[in-house]
Chains A and B, each alone.
Chain A
Amino acid sequence: MAESTVNNMTIRLAGEAGQGVDTGGAGFAKALANAGLWVFTTSEFMSRIRGGLNFYQIRVADHPLYSHVEPVNLLLAFTEEAVSEYAGTVVPGGGVIYDQGLKVREEMVARNGVQAFPMPLVKIAQEVGGNRIMMNTAALGAAAGVVELPFEFIAEIIQRNFRRKGDAVAEANLKVAEAGYRYAREHYAAGFPWKLQPRKTSRPRLMMTGNQAIGLGALAAGCRFISAYPMTPASSIMEWIAAHGARYKVVVKQTEDEIAAITMAIGAAFMGARAMTATSGGGFSLMVEALGLAGMAEIPVVVVESQRPGPSTGMPTKTEQGDLLFVLHASQGEFPRIVLAPGTIEQCFWTMVRAFNLAEKYQCPVIVLTDNYMAFQARTVLRQDFDYTKVEIDRGALLTKEELEQMEGPYLRYKITESGISPRALPGHPKAVFQACSDEHDEYGHFEDEDAENRVKMQSKRMRKLRTALAEIRPPEVYGPEDPEVTFLTWGTTYGPVREAVDILNSQGVRARMLHFVDIWPFPVDAVLPLLERSGRLVAVENNGTGQFAHLLRAMTGREVDDRILRFDGRPLSPDYILRKFEEARIHA
């Protein structure tokens, strides 16, 4: 047997919807996290409730992970299709666990040095657990057995996950898992070179998904209102907040459509609640007119746009960064908006905190751009990176009761100021009588949709807010050496894959650097220009087909990228993919 590799592998569970691929995978990932390992999970599922072919993939290591990788070391295949479809992703020496009752030709699996691990999973489930549905539990036990992870970590997670279904169910699953574990360990562990060993951890860790981090960030920021219409991959943001709505006093309203979703949030924000909505590109398309209303009436509203491949219905359960230029330009006319694109779980949390602050400070819509890849990925993170003492709530120029009472003359909601920011008052106070207006208006808010001079004054006032906001827009993160020969320009959710590609290239002697943008609009031109001067070869890396950020960069700086690494097949960028494309480009160059 080859020398074993400890704590560095990828496990993929694959099967039909309804077979517990997702819950089983999440449970297994949690067990690994509890064993003190760093975990990064991704999943891919089909747009259907039952059947199809889904996978849940767990990458595990001794060090923090920011990305998935494509090669699989151990595949748990719950169906024949899962074997035939995914055996090719398994590396030489890797293994495929499947029930021996499946119609699988062993020699089909065992091509390219991949090992077939057929096991009596269904038989174990039936004989030990009394129900064939526990086959996935047997498989998870078997996976732990093959990698020789101490069984206690699996036992703990089974007890935790099945407790609410009663002791009998938990006990049966435990026995099934143990039987699977023993079988796999006896028959296949010796020949399998990847092993997992528990590690002691010094700093507490958490495991959460991108959408959970977004929900958590919203709650931390004092979001009190979310109205949304379910749409993959954004739905779980509303679901997560709904599960906490009663306790944390958040009004959660599922609406009749996305138009109602954003307009209700706008109504709540007008009254003074921190309000948000969450959707994907199709729903955002419906929100576009109301986005302009928030711009014109100067209403602070946070919109999470979790992208998926379009146009139209596109690929509902896949990923893409295809909406950047759309959200930058959505809605008629010109008005200030802020666009932020977090790249990590931690950034999802902190970006939401900032989004609510920026929305209220600049009284404009803030769009948080993520995608399917971010929505569903789960990672182990450090608890200390979610330090609540660092959460600052800044409501901007918001008049207090005392200030309103002392105010002489009428309150001017749209008062013309140097910064463009007109102090806000919340309805309900005797002095706070004003009209928020979607037509062009005067300082009070009265219609003034004819006068040329007023138009220029008010439009200029609004647009000045963007200039003012620029002062707190953050420059891109620079990762990599000072004098790069190649700079990867990227934004949003591609952070992890690009970062890892940069690490690999540097380890191979290529001085590669990453410029990663979270803050996209207003565009931080002054911070970017000097970075471009010493970029070396400038390569845009984006999960879309045209290089939308490269387009923006050229518009804002005049600089054309030298090359583009793009992906628009519905799958996320990965370090492997980036390096493959980079290599191809070098060969062609």
Chain B
Amino acid sequence: MLDVKIYNSPVKPTWCPGCGDYGILNAVKAALAQLEILPHEVAIFTGIGCGSKLPDYMTVTAFTTIHGRPIPVATGAKLANPKMHILVVAGDGDTYGIGANHFIQALRRNPDITLIVENNMVYGLTKGQYAPTSQKGMVTSTTPEGAIEVALNPLAMAITGGATFVARGFSGDPKHLAWLIAEAIKHKGFSLVDVLQPCVVYNKVQTYDFYRERVYKLEEEGWDPADRKAAWEKAHEWGDRIPIGIFYRVEGEPTYEDQVPALREGALTTQPVGLDPQAFEALLNEFA
């Protein structure tokens, strides 16, 4: 167990007081400390949004990318250097809206990447428009009569799409969330941790109290995360009771990078750049 202070940053968060992102930041640090992953052994990729500033408030290798694209940037990074631990931290707009296609593709590729989604069901940084995970009927600045669409169900989608680890946490319970994130990082393959995160300014429905009254922990009810079909059904439970914990986990599935022939001899980044002259001549012979 490392001291979480090694991840501290001189930069003070610009998040609103009470923002759910604080709990996620603490949970990420705690999980890394628990797994004894040093700041240079992990790279965190984020998109754009309040929560995507997260690595700015840490000392860690990071790349804050553009809206919707942290998953492909992280995938490229993982394929270049599979030895690095790779985390993607992004919002629900990043992941389930503008970047949804990348999310779906990552599920079926199964790279060893942990995706943590700050799901506050609203667009915070742009000041309160509805999100792909906003509940039907939610009134926002762009849906004054209420959102018409049905909310996207990220967990069911992930299970259907081929994810090998699917979990949901709650930013109001950072200790439980840290455990989930640590389990997700330990998992070899693509892992999703969707985090219920209140936006204290723009979401007056899914508040801390809303969640505290409803969330319950799957592991406390003897949930078996090995059953994919049951997990998919569980992913639809949303109402008076909202489950958090590990919905689905399957170990032993090969990761994408494990199956790439070019990576059999290790990371691309540690190999010399350029070709062996004989190898080059062999290439030229193809044109002779």
Contacts and interface: CB of A to CB of B under 8 A. Distances in A.
Interface of A: 204-208, 212, 216, 219-222, 224-225, 227, 244-253, 255-257, 259-260, 263-275, 289-290, 293, 297, 383, 386, 388-389, 391, 393, 395, 426-439, 445-447
Interface string B260-283: 111101001101111101011101
Contacts of B283: 216, 219, 244, 248
A206 B285 CA distance: 8
Given A219-B280, A222-B274, A429-B40, 17 more contacts: A208-B287, A216-B284, A219-B275, A225-B268, A255-B72, A255-B105, A257-B101, A260-B75, A264-B79, A268-B79, A272-B269, A386-B284, A388-B281, A426-B269, A427-B61, A435-B55, A446-B9
B73 A266 contact: yes
Interface string B193-223: 0000000000000000000000000000000
A273 B104 CA distance: 25
Interface stretch (B62-70, B144-152, B182-190, B232-240): B62-70
A237 B102 CA distance: 23
A263 B287 contact: no
B79 A253 contact: yes
A250 B79 CA distance: 10
A224 B263 CA distance: 10
A249 B265 contact: yes
Choose among A225, A250, A267, A297 the residue with the greatest number of B CB atoms under 10 Å from its CB.
Answer: A267
Choose among B59, B61, B62, B102 the residue with the greatest number of A CB atoms under 10 Å from its CB.
Answer: B61
B72 A259 contact: yes
Choose among A247, A268, A426 the residue with the greatest number of B CB atoms under 10 Å from its CB.
Answer: A268
A482 B276 CA distance: 43
A21 B229 CA distance: 52
Contacts of B254: none
B32 interface: no
A447 B274 contact: no
A271 B269 contact: yes
Contacts of B162: none
A393 B66 contact: no
A393 B277 CA distance: 13
A260 B260 CA distance: 18
B274 A446 contact: no
Contact of B268 (A249, A297, A388, A437): A249
Given A267-B77, A428-B84, A207 B62 contact: no
Contact of B284 (A206, A225, A271, A431): A206
A253 B109 CA distance: 11
A453 B60 CA distance: 26
B287 A264 contact: no
B288 interface: yes
Contact of B72 (A263, A427, A431): A263
Choose among B65, B74, B265, B271 the residue with the greatest number of A CB atoms under 10 Å from its CB.
Answer: B65
B73 A267 contact: yes
A428 B81 CA distance: 9
A256 B102 contact: yes
Contact of B69 (A259, A274, A439): A259
A272 B271 contact: no
A263 B274 contact: no
B268 A268 contact: yes
A247 B278 CA distance: 13
24 contacts: A204-B288, A207-B287, A219-B275, A222-B272, A249-B263, A251-B268, A253-B79, A256-B101, A256-B104, A263-B66, A263-B73, A266-B73, A266-B76, A267-B76, A267-B77, A267-B80, A271-B43, A272-B269, A297-B63, A388-B280, A428-B61, A430-B38, A436-B62, A447-B53
Contacts, number: 203
A218 to B, nearest CB: 11
B277 to A, nearest CB: 5
A426 B268 CA distance: 12
Nearest to B38: A430
A241 to B, nearest CB: 10
B1 interface: no
A232 B144 CA distance: 45
Nearest to B287: A206
B284 A383 contact: yes
B45 interface: yes
B29 to A, nearest CB: 14
B279 A251 contact: no
Nearest to A271: B80
Interface string B35-54: 00011110101001000010
B273 A251 contact: no
Given A249-B262, A267-B75, A267-B80, A435 B63 contact: yes
Across chains A and B, which 3 residue pairs bring their CB atoms closest together, nearest first?
A267-B76, A264-B76, A222-B273
B82 to A, nearest CB: 10
A265 B273 contact: no
B11 A446 contact: yes
Given A219-B283, A220-B280, A224-B262, A395 B11 contact: no
B56 interface: yes
Contacts of A293: 65-66, 69
A251 B281 contact: no
Contact of B60 (A208, A428, A433): A433
B241 interface: no
Contacts of A393: 273-274
Nearest to A204: B288
B135 to A, nearest CB: 28
B77 A268 contact: yes
A268 B257 CA distance: 13
B87 to A, nearest CB: 13
B5 interface: no
B64 A439 contact: yes
Contacts of A207: 287
A427 B40 contact: yes
Contacts of A245: 261-262
B83 interface: yes
B79 A225 contact: yes
Given A225-B268, A271-B84, A447-B53, A438 B274 contact: no
A264 B75 contact: yes
Contacts of A436: 62-64
B80 A225 contact: yes
A392 B56 CA distance: 37
B204 to A, nearest CB: 28
